[in-house]
Amino acid sequence: MLDLTLYVYTAAIVAYIVREIWRAKTMRWVAFGLFAGGFILNTIVVLNRWAEANHAPMSDKYESFVFFGWSIALVYLIFELVTIFIVKVHESRLGIIGALQGVLAAWMICSALGIDNTIKELPPALQSKWLVTHVICYFLSYSALSMSFSAAIVHLVRKAFVSDKPKEAAAAGTVVQKKKDYSFDKLAYIAVSIGFPFLTIGLITGSIWAKGAWGTYWGWDPKEIWSLISWLVYLTYMHLPLMLPKTNIKKSFRPILLSIILLIAFPIVLFTFMGLHKLPSSVDSDHIYAE
């Protein structure tokens, strides 16, 4: 089932790319359907693991990769549904974001395939009512923040290779549509505005959980430190639009600067999630996912 999930996510990536090139309306639904199909398969894997393990499937690396892939797909599909039915931008170029999100979801599933999936007994520290709340908040935040990362990439690529000036012959309606289609910097900020509160709740619930498990709210563990770093980076990003008008930085460069910050911020999130075990100090950490 996990192999099939990977194949369907890969097919969705191809469909989103074709959609961007072909621009046929039907391709939007084909790509969306494939991504939704991958999400459904991913959901079955998550629920099946939950039933077999008899605990929330987010306690080790295998379960976390699978759950992260699931949450990436969930958040993107919600974004696209909102775009279609609420914002009603049916010709939106959000599809290129779909391709990038599909790559991230497929990467998580592919990573899970290379990890031992043996069900293990939960250690005492993870036998807590805070496990589900804490981890779900973090993965939802990570998934929304991944949307901002993808949007920042597209925004910078467009700035480098595509002119923002509409053609003189373009009709006013076309110009409005163009603005809706290409506001990737605004999409990035919206994604962070959604992800940051979940990131904050995850940090707070983690501290409460730590108090119950280890007797202290904050122990300056490597995971705690890097979680705080990622939180501070996104806090800075959220406040910069209010601060930049008071500086001498050109208005045209401000969205570029914000996008560059997002290119730095999300790799910090990924390192916090899946790279901390490479640090020498992680040997004594109580928060690094078990292999």
Shortest CA distance to 8 belongs to which of 105, 83, 78, 116? 105
Each residue's pLDDT, cut to its tens digit, for the chain (291 residues) gives: 899 999 999 999 999 999 888 877 788 889 999 999 999 999 999 999 999 988 888 888 899 999 999 999 999 999 988 887 777 665 566 788 999 999 999 999 999 998 888 888 877 767 778 888 999 999 999 999 999 999 999 999 988 887 555 444 344 444 444 444 448 888 999 999 999 999 999 999 988 888 877 788 887 888 888 899 999 999 999 999 989 888 888 888 999 999 999 999 999 999 988 877 666 655 555 565 544
Q: CA 80, CA 28: separation in Å to the nearest integer?
A: 10
**Is 184 among the domain residues?**
yes
Inter-axis angle of helices 254-274 and 222-243, nearest 10? 170
**Is 50 among the domain residues?**
yes
Is residue 284 within 8 A of residue 177, CB to CB? The reply is: no
Indicate the number of domains in the chain: 1
Q: What is the pLDDT of residues 180-213, one digit of tens each?
A: 444 888 899 999 999 999 999 999 998 888 887 7
Is residue 142 within 8 A of residue 269, CB to CB? The reply is: yes
Shortest CA distance to 101 belongs to which of 155, 170, 147? 147
Half-sphere exposure of 136 (CA within 13 A, CB side): 9
**Is 289 among the domain residues?**
no
Q: What pLDDT does residue 21 have?
A: 85
**Is 80 among the domain residues?**
yes
Q: CA 184, CA 158: separation in Å to the nearest integer?
A: 9
The domain of 84 spans 2-284
**Is 35 among the domain residues?**
yes
**Is 290 among the domain residues?**
no
Greatest alpha-carbon span in the chain: 68
**Is 291 among the domain residues?**
no
- Angle at 76 (CA atoms; ends 289, 57), nearest 5 degrees: 30
Is residue 18 within 8 A of residue 10, CB to CB? The reply is: no
pTM exceeds 0.85 for this model: yes
Shortest CA distance to 72 belongs to which of 149, 150, 143? 143
Q: CA 258, CA 210: separation in Å to the nearest integer?
A: 33
Shortest CA distance to 97 belongs to which of 43, 166, 196, 28? 28
Q: What is the pLDDT of residues 210-239, one digit of tens each?
A: 887 778 888 788 888 889 999 999 999 999
